[in-house]
A and B are shown apart, each in its own frame.
Chain A
């Protein structure tokens, strides 16, 4: 069973469209993340949720809206897509132990978004 799964794996769409990427983890972790990896391979954190609560919100356009219906799911909705949104979006999860995050993030396989 895939520990962190995200769908779709590939997404090609036109500028101005709205799209969503879904993520689910079956590891029982309480923290989930969205990272963006651009063409220069720089992996940048976008959002982090802990038990459905938003705890990290980096400087991301408000066209990006995460939603966490429960601690096993973290979806990403993007409105009015722009060319610069083309990237690979990785979902990840981690577990805190006694308030300390061990640092091991488990990543999904990534969703490659291409905006034309």
Chain B
């Protein structure tokens, strides 16, 4: 079983709609959590950290559920420019940042 798992998608989302997806992690001792965005044939870039109480950054909302060992990302009012692959990243107790394989989001006009 992979340490960090994501639904690969694609999630096809009409422009303006809301999309949400999760990421599960296997190590209950994981310490910190992040969402990265990766555009096609580009490098990953940090989108946002995920805090225990949940946090928002504009149209993006991240949640952490430690009991069920998952994090989620919700995108409101989707824009065409939100089309990308969203990578979940989890820092384990040894300090390693482990990535999921990503969830592809395609926003359509």
A: residues with CB less than 8 A from B are 35, 40-45, 48, 55-56, 90, 101-105, 107-110
Contacts and interface: CB of A to CB of B under 8 A. Distances in A.
Main secondary structure of the interface of B (DSSP, over half): strand
Contacts of B102: 41, 43
A95 to B, nearest CB: 13
A26 to B, nearest CB: 16
Interface in B7-46: 8, 32, 34, 36, 38, 42-46
Nearest to B98: A45
Contacts of B98: 45
Nearest to B89: A103
B1 interface: no
Interface of B: 2, 8, 32, 34, 36, 38, 42-46, 49, 85, 87, 89, 91, 94-99, 101-102
Given A41-B102, A42-B101, A101-B91, A107 B43 contact: yes
B32 A103 contact: yes
Contact of B44 (A48, A102, A107): A107
